[in-house]
Structure 1
């Protein structure tokens, strides 16, 4: 066995005889910033359309559900109490109790994407620098991290927390 050999579980061909998988028809994708979520969201939206599934989308003229508050069905475009959806795939603040009011299927699959927090912070700082005064005021990410209290303004609506 060599140093770079794959693990035994991959060297065997057992995975070829595994039980077949089937498509998930009830999905909640918690889209997260700067993790590749837009690519996954695009695939989910195409799948939702092709499979003729019911998609919950944010209110008109919004690309996210309200991010300053936890998710609530009232943030869904044209929501009517009692309506059931198959898929949600947008940015939102997770609230399982409220999500279950619209994703009523017991087999709903919940997932998200995680990224190394250091590279995610670097990417977020660069991407959001122009939009957040706390970031745009700092000379660099290092400056922001070393002087976070100096740049943070809790009263400003766009200050990241």
Structure 2
């Protein structure tokens, strides 16, 4: 009888722990709680989180999970009310790729951009003229043999 009682108490405790975890997860997911790891790493003297970098030029490269990161950056821009540079309709969706990038390829409505995230032929001068001075330039690199294999497989499936 005592063993059965211990099992029921353990089940109740387990249920309560799972309930707390699920509730916290739900609240985090629904943005009712703003939680970041910086909260645990701040010194008591510092009361603010690190500065967000909101000016980003993502140099997208083929077959490197760049579409995934592009999607994350689109969501970040939307969440933070940032302007994303978008191509003119005659250049869409790749800023007239494979031509070398020019700010003439950017839609005029998005010229005061905080972010740019698309395939483009890198042109440092044109990007520096377009983007704010404190822009962070990022890309993704992939081991060349693995990338070539992925490109070969991708184009083999999508060509004649």
Query: CA offsets, 1:48-77, max 9 Å, x none?
Result: 111111111112272211222110011112
Residue number among 95, 109, 127 corresponding to 2:154 in the alignment: 127
Q: Does 1:57 align with 2:57?
A: no
CA RMSD of aligned residues (A): 2.4
Distance 2:151 2:116 in 1: 23
Q: What runs of 5+ residues in structure 2 fail to find an aligned partner?
A: 1-39
Aligned partners of 1:26 and 1:109 also within 8 Å: yes
Which position in structure 1 is the counterpart of 2:98?
A: 68
Deviation (angstroms), 1:130: 5.3
**TM-score normalised by L of structure 1:** 0.64
Number of residue equivalences: 116
Aligned partners of 1:64 and 1:90 also within 8 Å: yes
- Structure with more of its chain in helix, by fraction: 2
Q: What runs of 5+ residues in structure 1 fail to find an aligned partner?
A: 1-14, 137-161
Q: Does 1:93 align with 2:121?
A: yes
Compare 55-64 and 15-24 and name the one that shifted more: 15-24
Distance 2:42 2:52 in 1: 18
Which position in structure 1 is the counterpart of 2:143?
A: 116
**TM-score normalised by L of structure 2:** 0.64
Aligned partners of 1:73 and 1:79 also within 8 Å: no
